[in-house]
Amino acid sequence: MQDIRVLNDMVRQESAFVDALLAEVRKVIVGQTEMVERLLIGMLTGGHVLLEGVPGLAKTLTCRSLASAMKVQFQRIQFTPDLLPADILGTMIYNPKDQTFSVKKGPIFTNLVLADEINRAPAKVQSALLEAMQERQITISDTTFELPSPFLVLATQNPIEQEGTYPLPEAQVDRFMLKVKVGYPSRDEERQILDFATGPGHDEVQPVITGDQLLAARKVVEEIHIDDKLKQYIVDIVFASRNPGDYGLAEMADFIQFGASPRATIFLTQAARGHAFLRHRGYVIPEDIKAIGMDVLRHRVIPTYQAEAEQLTSEDIVQRIFDRIDVP
């Protein structure tokens, strides 16, 4: 217990910047606490985040504000149907003066890249991000370049518009640690947004931490204690999505086409640690896993056509799994 107390004190000290950072973001963002926290968890664990929501919910503004509060390099790439992979990664430029080629690096060489409306670009452009997201490196011609550290991809997409869009391939969706559904603000928050947008100018977001401090915080997050029983709980949740009959969920077998991949097990553990860090705790509790579990699993559990006919979504399936698996 002494080690846990020491770890808890360390996490409480190292996570002191979280409240200040959230306060800075609230200078320009009203509500959307869950979205902000999920983005922070992604930054604290190095996991990429996909934001899904209708236009006008401050997704882009939130990402930009977080980058300003963290004093890291930020690039926003607007995905369009005519975008090319070279527009993101970079390309080789021929210099006729000395007849040599040189590398022109693209906007992905930054700390925080926002792929805005990522489903508006075709698959070849979306796939250009795969190596960067998984390996943190980019290959141009025959040369491989390491990306800056920290490096994180935040992507947004509009779920209601289908014309002129290209759904993300499953292999790429799986590389996002979290898929966050961004909802409408409450009535009171809407009024605050109105006063905020039509009133006098607001304060600028000030940097709270640097990129190096963020990397140091990541190392602390990796040390947060998670009990073996909770690790087994996570494994049971993921395996229940693959073999529901083994966990008393035989009625769900016809509704699940593909269960969660091993990335889900890893990401759920990392995200639970990040959630505990935001609560200034040096240990994970079951509520951390349940709070973040839907965002980790909703895009990894693929329902069958029969499930869609029964109007069952992946979220419904994941919720039933959480309801059935006993919490240690």
Per-residue pLDDT tens over the stretch 167-223: 887 777 888 999 999 888 888 888 888 887 777 766 778 888 888 888 888 999 999
pTM to 2 decimals? 0.87
At 271, the amino acid letter reads A
How high does pLDDT run on average in the chain? 87
Domain limits, the chain: 2-199, 224-324
CB burial readout 101-125, b (16+ within 10 A) else e: eeeeebebbbbbbbbbbbbbbbeeb
Separation between Cα atoms, residue 31 and residue 282, nearest integer Å: 27
Separation between Cα atoms, residue 300 and residue 271, nearest integer Å: 15
152: phi then psi, degrees, rounded to nearest 5: -150, 140
At 233, the amino acid letter reads Y
> What is the domain class of 2-199 according to CATH?
alpha beta
Q: Give the per-residue pLDDT at 14.
A: 83
> Residue 69 in contact with residue 205, Cβ under 8 Å?
yes
Among the listed residues 29, 114, 89, 73, the one whose alpha carbon sits nearest the alpha carbon of residue 214: 73
Separation between Cα atoms, residue 48 and residue 238, nearest integer Å: 20
167: phi then psi, degrees, rounded to nearest 5: -60, 140
Among the listed residues 293, 5, 58, the one whose alpha carbon sits nearest the alpha carbon of residue 197: 58
Q: Which CATH number fits domain 224-324: 1.10.8.80, 2.60.120.260, 3.40.50.150, 3.40.190.10?
A: 1.10.8.80
Q: Give the per-residue pLDDT at 28.
A: 82
> Residue 203 in contact with residue 64, Cβ under 8 Å?
no
Q: Give the per-residue pLDDT at 201.
A: 65
Separation between Cα atoms, residue 161 and residue 154, nearest integer Å: 20
Q: What is the mean pLDDT of each run of 10 residues along the chain (328 residues)?
A: 75 86 84 86 91 83 86 89 89 82 86 89 86 86 86 86 76 88 85 78 79 88 92 94 88 88 93 93 92 92 89 90 89
